[in-house]
Every structure is written in structure tokens, then in C-alpha cells.
Chains A and B, each alone.
Chain A
Amino acid sequence: MKTSNLLKGAALGALFAAGALAPAMAQDSVYFANNAYRTGPFSGSGIPIGDGMRDYITMINERDGGVNGVKVVYEECETGYDTKKSIECYEQAKSKNTIVYSPWSTGATLAAIPRAHVDKIPILSMAYGLSSSADGTNFPWVFIPPFTYWDGASVMVRHMAAELGGMDKLKGKKLGLIHLDAPFGKEPIPVLENLAKKYGFELKLYPVAAADMQNQGSLWLSIRRDRPDYLYNQGWGAMNPTAVKEAAKNNFPMNKFVGVWWAGGDDDARAGGDQAKGYKSLSWTLSGTEAPAMQDIVKFVVDKGKSTTPKEKVGEALYNRGVYNAMLVVEGIRNAQKLTGKKVINSEDMRRGLESLNLTEARLKEIGLGGFVTPTTISCTDHSGHSKMFVSEWDGAKWTKKGDWVEPLKDEVRPLIESNAKDYVEKAGNWPKRTEPCEKSS
């Protein structure tokens, strides 16, 4: 007998239904809901990311009065990196007509991908999520710029070859992959296996169970025994600082230890203390606040007290990636306005805007990020761009760029993406065929 609870629920439901939740749409504004996690076990990474996104959008609203005069109403929905709450956030974002959904977790992305194709809401999963969603023909509503985990794995191999002196020198070498034992962590395996076969190096896997993120002692014993020449770390959250600490403790040469971009937060490396010097990670955004757009954030937002970010945190690696993600959203809106001629766009226009995103070096210069972030071009079939990235190194206090911008091995990655996308669509049964016309990059 659950009358009282049901009544309460029904009363609240009536409140929801009454549109109490509908956003107060001011004149000429677009609504953008972003999933954030400022609480929970991953908040250490979630807070700088959310801060970067919020500050960039605030800066655009403060400096330019929005995108071409249209204010971006930015709202955060707290997920705690929990898929259940992320799904709630998706439903809420949908009911408020968000122009784009920004999941910020692979689990949330996987749950949202089928829905987005029915609800016609574009998903922007920046360098995370489902790698095969880079296939725009099968996933017209998902965008994964500037590249996928598979691109990252291929750049890791290129980095290894570059240090050894050529692809032919890979033969007989050992590459260790230390990864979270979950779908996210296992992402790079198929690409690395293919490349290992092709170039004759050996791939060793070191899985870390989610429960043992902070307890990797036994794993490092086997790493010591195997002595891999290079170690690639596909980790997230509490796993990264632990891995860096263990590497230092076990005297693994730090300059042979490379993390995926999400294992390249400032706090991840800081945990290793002085011994973490030389730890590397892949990246596509330079740290620091030298870029003109970053200067504007400091000037219009942080110094004006319109931000919650501590000033010393502005310009950290993850913060700048948040900025990059917000920049993609803003440029998507701008493109959509150009394509449709409308000022206030909706989610379907936004999809067109993202599909024709062409962030050349020249365009990035206009935005004020030229030379500081990777240029990327999205097309109708390629929803990722497979853009260049670089290897950055921790100098004990901050991440600095080492070496050049490197292209991923697109010829290796792309066929895998297409075959996996086909596989996904076949298994889904009744997957909606793409009906949206292709956009030209502008």
C-alpha cells in the first residue's frame, strides 16, 4: 500500500508536468545543458573540466554578448559520474530543448547514443565515448572530435617508433598497456593488437580492476618482471596518480611512460612528486593562459569575479580541454546560424552546424586559440576529424609540449571504425537509416 508515496510522487510529477521545469527562455538565447561531476569519486577531474566549459561560455556571453548576439544559457546537471544520474540529466536536457548533449562519461554516451537518433539531439563526446561513432554515415547524431581512443593508441605507437628511430625498429620491442578493466580501458586493445602484428612488437596487457584502482602493487611486480620498453596508460580517476606513484617506486623510466589524454591531468602527475618528472601524456591543448582567448577568460570572467575557478587553476590541462569543448559548442552554434540564417537555432540545426565544423589554423587564430589547440575538420562521413595531437611532458610543475603535432594512423583506424559501426548498426536491429543530407564543411 503505497498511496502516500504515490501521491507525493504524483504531486511532484504534476509540478514537473506543469512546466515548472521548462527553462525561462529569455529573448534570443539558446539553451545548453552540460553534464558535470563536481561530486563523487571522479570530481577531481570533473571540476576543472566543468570550470573550463563554464568560464569559456561565460566569456563569450560577457565579451560578445553571446554568439552573434544570442546568449548561451548554460546549465550544469550534476551526475557524480553516475550513469543513472546521467540518464536523468539527459531526460531533463531533452525536456528543456538543449541544443546539444554533452555526456562527459563513456557510460552516459553509450546509453544516450540510441536515444539521440530518435530524439534528434546531437551528442558531442569530445575524445571519449564510442570510437566507432566517428562514422557519420551510421551515427549522424554523434560527434567525437578531435579524435578517438583508437587514434590515441596509434599515436602512442608512432611516438614509440619516433623515439626508437623508425617504424622498422619496433620489431621485437615490448609495449605494455596498463588499463582500467572496463570498456573505457580496453578501448585501445584492438588497434594495438593490429599494429603489434603489423610491426612485430609484443603487446602486454596489465588490467586494473575498478576496485583495485588504488592498489596496483602486484600488477607492477609483473611489469617489473616483463620489463616492457614502453608503457601506455589508459586510466581515469584515482587510477592515474596511483600508477604514476607506482612507476616512480618501481623505478620504471618515466620518459617511457605515456598516458592517454585523460591520464594527463595536473593532479595525476603531481601525485608522483619529484619522481614524476618526465611522465608523458597525449594531448591536443597546450597548458597555460598565453592564448588570447584564455587571456579574455581571465580578463572578462575570472578577474570580474564571475567564475568559481581559483586563479591558479586556470590554464591547467583539464581546464583547457573544458575550454576546447565549450569552444566546439560555440563554433557549432555559429556554423548553424550561418547555415540556417536563423539566430536562435534548435538541436537539428546544431547537428548541421557541428557536421560542417572546419576549425582551420586560421579560424582558430580568429577565435584566439591559434597554435594552442589542434585544428579539426568534421565531415559528413567523418564525425571525428582524426586530428593531430602531441606528446606533452610533466616537468614537475606543469605540462609542456614535447615534440611535434603528430597525425594518427588514419589508415589503420578508419577501417576498424567503419567495420565496428556496421556491426553496431546490424546488432541494433531497425537502426534508423541516415536521412539527413550531408553538410559541406564551411
Chain B
Amino acid sequence: MLYREAGQYKSSYASDMAVFPLKEDRIGIAVILAIALVAIPFLGSDFFIASVMIPFLVFSLAAIGLNILTGYTGLISLGTAAFMGVGAYSCYKLTTLFPGVNIIVLILVSGLFSAGIGVLFGLPSLRIKGFYLAVATLAAQFFLQWAFVRVPWLFNYNASGAIEVPQRTLFNIPLTGAAATPETRYFVCLGLVVVLTWFASNIVHGKLGRSWMAVRDMDIAAELMGIKLLNAKLAAFAVSSYFCGVAGAMMIFLWYGGGEAADVFSIRLSFNILFMVIIGGLGSLIGSFFGAAFLSILPTALKFGLPALGIPIQGAAAEHVTFMLVGALIITFLIVEPHGLARLWQIGKQKLRTWPFPY
């Protein structure tokens, strides 16, 4: 009734292949963007923007990056955090070497370094698959994390051994550093995430994305059809690491405001993002957002939301409850829907199309 395709005719190939063929979907996207652009910055408190929305956006981008590799190409990676670290450290090096260049440009460029490193560590994927590849990417995680601590040149020999984020401005508005307001940082994050999501969407719906999925579903068949495995797999590593690198640079520059590798880009973060992708839905961009929301917003909401709703629990207890709740929800979701939240969303939409007279 509300969500029907009846009467929406397609009269060209372009409209037939559109990402959002239904008018209702396009309206939905517009509403979401309007909420993100207008409602949240003007209605949300500083705490909500800085501690809920910015982390959510950063993790969404990282989850999209991992989803390209794991969900679309079927290559399991446990080195996500390290590739994010490459982005963060290259952004730091770039901004200290070229202080005049705008930081947004540098955040986007730092992803390229991450892509390069990603390709390097992606080379073994040609010969090994599955579990063995996971271990190879684990080596990337440990080696890169070690390098971030061991190579003082990467953090400019700072006595603290950490990245110290300098203030960078656009039209005299501080974007990074302490003087940057949460709203400004949020807008920069939002802009980057929207543009890069659109970019990712176009890649996965295009030739490259199709070849990734072919590789994922059966690499031998894909090769017989003329898809070059080397190119497809390395492209997946490059694009995926690019997204992770940009997410890592965003993480340090627009959210943390300083930090060190051992602390931020540890294996825990890699696992966290892998869980986001699994719960959100493998091989789905929407799923990346769902997964990031689930695993990044939910703990914060429980920790600060429960006391706010008048359920008095102390810090440590809240932390344990969060652990248990999130764990239980993960198990529940995976039992109810092994294909993740994105699949649930799809089923919901399917049901809506036949509502109120299901057949």
C-alpha cells in the first residue's frame, strides 16, 4: 500500500539498472540524508554527536572497507585495524610535511598509502584461501602494529610516541585539533562517508564488483569465464584498504584527536570490525551501516542510556551487562538470521510490499 512498485514503469536500461529503482527507496534515502545533515547537527547534543555519531560514521566506513574484501570477494582479513593505522600514520606524516594542504584532501590521499600496503599483503591471497589467508593478514596486523611503535619516523620522534593531531582549518574554521567543534567534525565525517559510500556503491554494482562476486562464489569458474584472479583480488585488497585507511585517518584526526597504535589499532579493533560486517550482513553496503550501528552505538546507548532512563546501574555493572547483552544479541541475530541485519531489512521490505494482503 505504502510501498508498492505498481505503476512505476521503467522505460530505459539505465532506470532498470538503478540502485534504487523504487521511488519510495529514493525518498527514504533523501529523508535519511536530511536527518543526517539537518536534524542531527541541530538537535543532537555535543555528547551525542561526538560520542555516538562520529564513531558510528568512522566504523561504517571501516566496515564498508572490510565488506568489500570479505563480503564481496570472500577473502577473510584480520588486518583491518593495521590498514586503518597505515591511513592514520600516513595522514599524520603528510599533514606535518605539507601543512598547507587541506586536511580533507590529505585524509583522502592517505587512503592510497593504505591501498598500496594492502596490495602488498594481499599478494599471498593468490595462492592461499580461507583460514590460511586469515593468518597471513594476521601477520600484517602484527607487523604493521609493531612498525608503528618501532619506527619513530612515523610519529615524528614525538616524546610521547603518539600521533599528536595538529590544528588544520578550512576557510579559517578549525576542522581538526581541539578547537574543532563536534558539529564541524561531524559534517566532515558525514561528507566523506556519503561520497565514499556512493563511490563504493558504484564499484560493487559495476564490472569490478561483479568480478569480485564471481571470485567469491567460485574462483575457478570465474577464471574460466576470463576474470583475471590476480587483478580482481588485488583490486579488492586495494579498494578495501583504501576505505579502511581513510576510516583510520578519520578516526585519529576527527574523532580521537591523538593516539598511539598499540592502543588504537590493535587486533581488538580488527575483530570488532569483522563482527560488524558479519552481523550487518556480508556483501551488503547497508549491512555495513547496520553492523556499525549495532556494535558501536549500542554499547554507548546502554552505558549512558540506561542510567538516563532511570535504570540505576554502576559503571562496572553496566559494562558487564553491555557485554552480556551485546553477546546475547549477536547470538540471537545470527540464529534468527545468519545473513545479518541487512537480510532482515530485505525481508521486512518484502513483507511491506504485500502488506496488508500477504499471499
Which of chain B's residues has its CB closest to A78's CB? B315
Which of chain B's residues has its CB closest to A76's CB? B315
- Asked whether B178 lies within 8 Å of A117 as measured between CB atoms, the reply is yes
A211–B178 alpha-carbon span in the complex (Å): 32
- Asked whether B256 lies within 8 Å of A87 as measured between CB atoms, the reply is yes
A209–B47 alpha-carbon span in the complex (Å): 35
| Chain A residues closer than 8 Å to B307, beta-carbon distance | 21
Question: In this assembly, does A420 line the interface, its C-beta being within 8 Å of a C-beta of chain B?
Answer: yes
Question: In this assembly, does B327 line the interface, its C-beta being within 8 Å of a C-beta of chain A?
Answer: no
| Chain B residues closer than 8 Å to A13, beta-carbon distance | 40, 43-45, 48, 52
Q: How far is the CB of B255 from chain A (nearest CB, A)?
A: 8
| Chain B residues closer than 8 Å to A14, beta-carbon distance | 43
Which of chain B's residues has its CB closest to A184's CB? B161
Question: In this assembly, does B35 line the interface, its C-beta being within 8 Å of a C-beta of chain A?
Answer: yes
- Asked whether B46 lies within 8 Å of A1 as measured between CB atoms, the reply is no
Using a Cβ–Cβ cut-off of 8 Å, how many residues does chain B contribute to the interface with A? 75
A182–B160 alpha-carbon span in the complex (Å): 10
| Chain B residues closer than 8 Å to A111, beta-carbon distance | 256-259
Q: How far is the CB of B194 from chain A (nearest CB, A)?
A: 12
- Looking at the complex, which one of A6, A38, A209 makes contact with B316 (CB distance below 8 Å)? A38
Instruction: Tally inter-chain residue pairs, CB-CB below 8 A.
Output: 194
A430–B177 alpha-carbon span in the complex (Å): 9
Interface string of B4-46 (1 = CB under 8 A from A): 0000000000000000000001001101100110011001111
Interface of B is mostly: helix
Which of chain B's residues has its CB closest to A7's CB? B35
- Asked whether A210 lies within 8 Å of B45 as measured between CB atoms, the reply is no
| Chain A residues closer than 8 Å to B259, beta-carbon distance | 83, 107, 110-111
* Stretch from B124-132, B215-223, B232-240, B260-268 contacting the other chain: B260-268
Question: In this assembly, does B156 line the interface, its C-beta being within 8 Å of a C-beta of chain A?
Answer: yes
Question: In this assembly, does B345 line the interface, its C-beta being within 8 Å of a C-beta of chain A?
Answer: yes
- Asked whether B315 lies within 8 Å of A424 as measured between CB atoms, the reply is no
* Stretch from A88-96, A192-200, A377-385, A395-403 contacting the other chain: A88-96
Question: In this assembly, does A368 line the interface, its C-beta being within 8 Å of a C-beta of chain B?
Answer: no
| Chain B residues closer than 8 Å to A17, beta-carbon distance | 43-45, 48
| Interface residue ranges of A15-62 to B (CB < 8 Å) | 15-17, 20-21, 36, 38-39
| Chain A residues closer than 8 Å to B99, beta-carbon distance | 429
Question: In this assembly, does B318 line the interface, its C-beta being within 8 Å of a C-beta of chain A?
Answer: yes
- Asked whether B47 lies within 8 Å of A21 as measured between CB atoms, the reply is yes
- Looking at the complex, which one of B305, B308, B318 makes contact with A78 (CB distance below 8 Å)? B318
Question: In this assembly, does A433 line the interface, its C-beta being within 8 Å of a C-beta of chain B?
Answer: no
A119–B267 alpha-carbon span in the complex (Å): 32
| Chain A residues closer than 8 Å to B345, beta-carbon distance | 1
Which of chain A's residues has its CB closest to B297's CB? A9
- Asked whether A39 lies within 8 Å of B43 as measured between CB atoms, the reply is no
| Interface residue ranges of A119-163 to B (CB < 8 Å) | 119, 130-132
- Asked whether B178 lies within 8 Å of A38 as measured between CB atoms, the reply is no
- Asked whether A424 lies within 8 Å of B158 as measured between CB atoms, the reply is yes
Question: In this assembly, does B165 line the interface, its C-beta being within 8 Å of a C-beta of chain A?
Answer: yes
- Asked whether A1 lies within 8 Å of B29 as measured between CB atoms, the reply is yes
- Asked whether A429 lies within 8 Å of B45 as measured between CB atoms, the reply is no
A297–B140 alpha-carbon span in the complex (Å): 51
| Chain B residues closer than 8 Å to A118, beta-carbon distance | 178-179
A369–B36 alpha-carbon span in the complex (Å): 54
Question: Given the known A-B contacts A5-B297, A10-B35, A13-B52, are A209 and B177 also in contact in the complex, defined by CB atoms under 8 Å?
Answer: no
- Asked whether B46 lies within 8 Å of A95 as measured between CB atoms, the reply is yes
- Asked whether A183 lies within 8 Å of B45 as measured between CB atoms, the reply is no
- Asked whether B28 lies within 8 Å of A1 as measured between CB atoms, the reply is yes
- Asked whether B28 lies within 8 Å of A429 as measured between CB atoms, the reply is no
A6–B56 alpha-carbon span in the complex (Å): 11
Q: How far is the CB of A142 from chain B (nearest CB, A)?
A: 12
Question: In this assembly, does A2 line the interface, its C-beta being within 8 Å of a C-beta of chain B?
Answer: yes
| Chain B residues closer than 8 Å to A424, beta-carbon distance | 158-160, 164
| Chain A residues closer than 8 Å to B40, beta-carbon distance | 10, 13
Q: How far is the CB of B239 from chain A (nearest CB, A)?
A: 22
A428–B150 alpha-carbon span in the complex (Å): 22
Which of chain A's residues has its CB closest to B163's CB? A110
| Chain A residues closer than 8 Å to B36, beta-carbon distance | 6
Which of chain B's residues has its CB closest to A5's CB? B293
| Chain A residues closer than 8 Å to B134, beta-carbon distance | none
A131–B174 alpha-carbon span in the complex (Å): 27
Which of chain A's residues has its CB closest to B53's CB? A9
Question: In this assembly, does A342 line the interface, its C-beta being within 8 Å of a C-beta of chain B?
Answer: no
- Looking at the complex, which one of A3, A210, A427 makes contact with B156 (CB distance below 8 Å)? A427
- Asked whether B319 lies within 8 Å of A78 as measured between CB atoms, the reply is yes
- Looking at the complex, which one of A15, A119, A132 makes contact with B308 (CB distance below 8 Å)? A15
| Chain A residues closer than 8 Å to B304, beta-carbon distance | 16, 21, 88, 92
- Asked whether B146 lies within 8 Å of A84 as measured between CB atoms, the reply is no
- Looking at the complex, which one of A3, A15, A107, A131 makes contact with B263 (CB distance below 8 Å)? A107
Interface string of B169-184 (1 = CB under 8 A from A): 0000010011100000
Which of chain B's residues has its CB closest to A119's CB? B178
| Chain A residues closer than 8 Å to B320, beta-carbon distance | 39
12 contacts between A and B (CB under 8 A): A5-B289, A6-B36, A9-B56, A12-B301, A15-B308, A39-B316, A84-B55, A91-B51, A92-B304, A111-B258, A130-B160, A186-B161
Q: A residues bordering B, Cβ < 8 Å? A: 1-3, 5-6, 8-10, 12-17, 20-21, 36, 38-39, 76-78, 80, 83-85, 87-88, 91-92, 94-95, 107, 110-111, 113-119, 130-132, 181-183, 186, 190, 209-211, 420, 423-424, 427-431
Since A38-B316, A88-B300, A118-B179 are in contact, a sample of 20 more A-B pairs with Cβ atoms closer than 8 Å, ordered by chain A residue number, is A2-B286, A2-B289, A6-B35, A8-B297, A9-B293, A20-B308, A21-B47, A21-B308, A39-B323, A76-B316, A78-B315, A91-B47, A91-B51, A92-B51, A94-B47, A107-B260, A210-B266, A211-B142, A429-B99, A429-B168
Ranked nearest first, the 7 interchain pairs of A and B with the lowest CB-CB distance are A183-B161, A78-B315, A114-B178, A38-B316, A13-B48, A20-B308, A182-B262
